[in-house]
Amino acid sequence: MDSKGVPINQGKKLKLSLTIIFMCVVASLPFFYLDVNIVEVMTSLPKLIRFFIHNFLPPNFSNLRAYMEPVIETLLFAIVGTYISAVLSFILGILMSQLSPNLVIRVFIQSFVTFLRNIPVLIWASLLVFVFGIGNIVGLIALSLATVGILSRMYAESIDEIASSKLEALTASGASYLQIILHGLLPEFIPAWINWTLFSFEINIRASAILGTVGAGGLGILIQTNLNLRNFHEATTLIIILVVMVLMTEMAISNIRSRIYH
């Protein structure tokens, strides 16, 4: 060894420098292109806060009773939507996994689900509003479609994992396809099923708030309407309700999760 000792990095310094420069360029380019003045953004922040405090506070709780119905509606639609997509996704998940009875079906379902997944829930809702008109049913269908897109894929991954390690014995014993699904796959799949479904329920509760903005029912439509009518104090109340609802859902779900695994 020479006097320099042992270098602790093998790589070249040049590569690191180039990486840092590249990252800085990528970060700053959009500001120039979109003509966003970062100083302006920063200085307008106090103005925003002042506007919010002045217009939105204090929340107006006088209509609280009237809000309960859309709150319950939102919850129920999220629940129903999650149930529907959990069942549909299980079937689709099997059909797009290695347990699929047929390669053509498998590829077809995989593409179909990818298609569903890559259209955001808001776009689904905007499209469906034209078909069904404004209302809760649009939110329900939009949520279900988007959730099926996500869940089917998650389920399929879990199913593949089980199929490749645990179902050989049932196949070897002469069990039929449906028996393998029922007696082999289903019991092993239940924890993953519950887990992914709870995960999507959480997303659905949040999503149902956004859906209202395109007229797809629920709590969101009230928030949107009150904002448009400049009833800011009522809107604040609704936003608080939404946050509480999401928090309570999260708590309930983490509670269920810990009971499943411990």
**What residues make contact with other proteins under the rule CB under 8 A?**
165-166, 168-176, 178-179, 182-184, 187-188, 190-191
Torsion of CA 134, 140, 143, 147, to 10 degrees: -160
Q: How far is the CB of 175 from other proteins (least distance, A)?
A: 4
Residue number, 133 or 187, with CB nearest to other proteins = 187
**132: nearest Cα among 123, 141, 143:** 141
Residue number, 149 or 184, with CB nearest to other proteins = 184
Residue number, 102 or 165, with CB nearest to other proteins = 165
Residue number, 26 or 172, with CB nearest to other proteins = 172
Q: How far is the CB of 176 from other proteins (least distance, A)?
A: 6
Q: How far is the CB of 119 from other proteins (least distance, A)?
A: 36
Cis check for the bond before 187: say yes or no (omega within 30 of 0): no
Distance CA 39, CA 211 (A): 33
H or E element that contains 14: helix 13-33
Q: Which residue has the tokens 């009518």?
A: 229
Structure-token pair, residue 155: 């389920």
**155: nearest Cα among 122, 186, 111:** 186
Structure-token pair, residue 107: 């590829």
DSSP letter at 213 equals G
Q: How far is the CB of 108 from other proteins (least distance, A)?
A: 23
Q: How far is the CB of 101 from other proteins (least distance, A)?
A: 12
- For the beta carbon of residue 116, count every other beta carbon within 10 angstroms: 19
Residue number, 20 or 169, with CB nearest to other proteins = 169
DSSP letter at 167 equals S
Q: How far is the CB of 262 from other proteins (least distance, A)?
A: 14
Residue number, 34 or 178, with CB nearest to other proteins = 178
